[in-house]
Chain A
């Protein structure tokens, strides 16, 4: 079946501009995660959504970062007033329901490479 998809695959933006990154999880998956992969920081958790519960935003690095998940499916990560240190690959992952017995497995999309100039 279809995996996690992300768009765009690459985004170049000027410092100070806002960007939106999109994630389409695997159909039927209830949990959705955003991670950031950068040379200096490695792979780090950003935010987690599970069904209709309040998201876990504990990994967001600043208030310039926000994310929403509409209808329990598609998610958008928004970075306002981008800075050069925001340059990274942003990865989205989704997980099946816990009741499936595989709820702790995360399946990743191909990522969006963000470059802030």
Chain B
């Protein structure tokens, strides 16, 4: 069965520092992979997605992610974090088939120190 692991529950970084959030997935075929961000009291906003092709994908708000098939990973990165990036980040894999429901990781809560 498909699954997503986000090993870091909570990460704190200083404003201006670089960021990497880890995501590992389990899926039998080429996955559809997503990163979403959720601010307090808000819904989920799509940051970026990977379907095929170039393994380094660019998203909104200066985020990027790299698909590494050999490591079953899809880590999210940002070179310089802003205070407004403080939020919870969810990695997800599309289950494919007729439904393509999303299987989510447990999320990583990002805090940004001034």
- B-side interface residues toward A, CB under 8 Å? 32, 34, 36, 41-46, 49, 51, 90, 92, 94, 98-107
Q: Indicate if the CB atoms of B43 and A109 lie closer than 8 Å.
A: yes
CB contact under 8 A between A42 and B98, given known A105-B46, A109-B43, A111-B43: no
Q: Indicate if the CB atoms of A106 and B102 lie closer than 8 Å.
A: yes
Interface string of A61-97 (1 = CB under 8 A from B): 0000000000000000000000000000001010100
- A-side interface residues toward B, CB under 8 Å? 4, 33, 35, 42-45, 48, 50, 56, 58-59, 91, 93, 95, 103-111
Q: Indicate if the CB atoms of B101 and A48 lie closer than 8 Å.
A: yes
**Chain B interface, >50% SS class:** strand
Q: Indicate if the CB atoms of B51 and A104 lie closer than 8 Å.
A: yes
The listed residue (B41, B43, B104) touching A4 by CB distance below 8 A is B43
A-B contact pairs, 24 of them (CB 8 A): A4-B43, A33-B102, A35-B102, A42-B104, A42-B106, A43-B90, A43-B92, A43-B104, A44-B104, A45-B102, A45-B103, A48-B99, A48-B101, A56-B101, A93-B44, A103-B100, A104-B32, A104-B51, A104-B94, A105-B34, A106-B102, A110-B41, A110-B42, A111-B42
In the bound complex, CA of A4 to CA of B43 (Å): 10
> What residues of chain A lie closer than 8 Å to B103, measured between beta carbons?
45
The listed residue (A43, A91, A104, A108) touching B100 by CB distance below 8 A is A104
